[in-house]
């Protein structure tokens, strides 16, 4: 029985594992990709597009599978696993590489001293509750001193000493200190990148002080009963300016004349009957001129007040002479 024709027909169905191309294909087993640098045959593509694309895809998959089977393998319960090599294709990035984060003051000190920092867990074990509780935050471990039922009171404590309040104030001070250190680390990091100039350093210092004052004033008492940190300056407020008690004769005279002129300008309108609301005059002024004149002159009126202030000025002038 001649089976040569049967074998020939079966061999025609199975293509060879060898791929012949004008230019060799680039196979990257790490990314499981195959790149074909050959040009597209326009005639074959226009005549039988699907057949042409399937043939190119078959050649690429054949080379990729042959490359994977040539790699070293590891045994596993699921079967042999191929050890992929390092990638050879350099993929472009959408954005540049991130710059290394600048070290804080503590990180620099720990690196010079060889100290290894260990990341603390968010939850700690509480012996009294026999449960894991948060280290900070709501029902945190750092609030045990504020909520405990027994406190040790110092011998020299004041009669209004509140241990829970003192513990809360100390915790708030620690929070403010940590925030201050964080802002200082940010300022040092920005100074390392930017140009170190006097104006830049002053501006950053003012921003840190402003942030610290805002943080301290975020409590219920607006920071009035919070303890000051060591080395912290007292926040500056608005200074009120008062006139000196002893003034020159000309300054006092001009002030009295200005008051008399203001009172005299409203003298004609005061004669008209107006309803007294008690909250000011009808023009919307906060000061009720009629009541002010009546109070200053003991009910005698604006003319008597002007005469009295003029006589006082003359007496002072005679006494100084």
Q: Which two tokens stand for residue 51?
A: 């057949």
d(CA 103, CA 106): 8
Looking at residue 203, what is its pLDDT? 78
Looking at residue 283, what is its pLDDT? 52
Looking at residue 316, what is its pLDDT? 62
Q: What is the largest CA-CA distance in the chain?
A: 156
Taking CA 244 as the corner, what is the angle to CA 242 and CA 246, rounded to the nearest 5 degrees? 155
Q: Is the pTM of this model over 0.85?
A: no
In tens digits, the chain (321 residues) has pLDDT values of: 566 777 667 666 666 677 778 888 888 989 999 998 888 888 888 888 898 899 889 888 988 998 899 999 998 888 888 899 998 888 888 888 888 888 888 888 888 888 887 777 888 888 888 888 888 888 788 888 888 888 888 888 888 888 888 888 888 898 899 888 888 888 877 776 554 456 667 777 788 877 877 777 777 776 677 777 777 766 666 566 777 777 788 888 888 888 888 887 654 444 444 554 444 455 555 567 777 777 777 666 667 767 676 666 566 666 555
Looking at residue 121, what is its pLDDT? 82
CB count within 10 Å of CB 305 equals 20
What is the 8-class DSSP label of residue 142?
G
Q: Which two tokens stand for residue 185?
A: 């680390």
Q: Which helix (H) or strand (E) holds 183?
A: helix 163-193
């Amino acid at each position: 029985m001649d089976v040569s024709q049967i074998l020939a027909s079966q061999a025609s169905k199975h293509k060879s594992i060898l791929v012949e191309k004008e230019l060799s294909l680039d196979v990257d087993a790490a990314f499981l990709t195959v790149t074909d640098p050959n040009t597209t045959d326009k005639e074959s593509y226009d005549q039988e597009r699907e057949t042409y694309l399937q043939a190119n895809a078959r050649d690429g998959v054949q080379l990729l599978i042959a490359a994977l089977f040539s790699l070293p393998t590891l045994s596993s319960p699921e079967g042999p696993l191929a050890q992929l090599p390092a990638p050879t294709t350099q993929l472009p990035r959408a954005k540049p590489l991130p710059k290394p984060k600048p070290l804080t003051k503590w990180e620099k000190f720990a690196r010079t001293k060889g100290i290894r920092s260990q990341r603390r867990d968010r939850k700690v074990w509480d012996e009294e509750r026999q449960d894991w509780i948060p280290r900070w935050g709501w029902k945190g471990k750092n609030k045990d001193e504020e909520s405990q039922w027994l406190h040790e009171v110092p011998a020299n404590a004041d009669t209004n000493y509140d241990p829970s309040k003192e513990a809360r104030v100390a915790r708030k001070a620690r929070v403010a200190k940590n925030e201050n250190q964080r802002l200082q680390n940010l300022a040092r990091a920005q100074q390392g990148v930017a140009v170190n100039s006097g104006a830049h350093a002053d501006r950053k210092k003012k921003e840190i002080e402003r942030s610290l004052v805002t943080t301290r004033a975020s409590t219920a008492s607006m920071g009035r009963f919070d303890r000051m940190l060591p080395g912290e300056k007292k926040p500056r407020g608005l200074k009120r300016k008062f006139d000196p008690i002893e003034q020159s004769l000309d300054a006092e005279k001009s002030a009295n004349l200005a008051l008399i002129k203001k009172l005299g300008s409203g003298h004609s309108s005061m004669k008209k009957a107006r309803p007294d609301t008690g909250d000011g005059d009808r023009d919307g002024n906060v000061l009720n001129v009629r009541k002010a004149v009546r109070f200053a002159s003991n009910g005698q009126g604006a003319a008597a007040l002007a005469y009295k202030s003029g006589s006082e000025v003359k007496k002072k002038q005679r006494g100084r002479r």
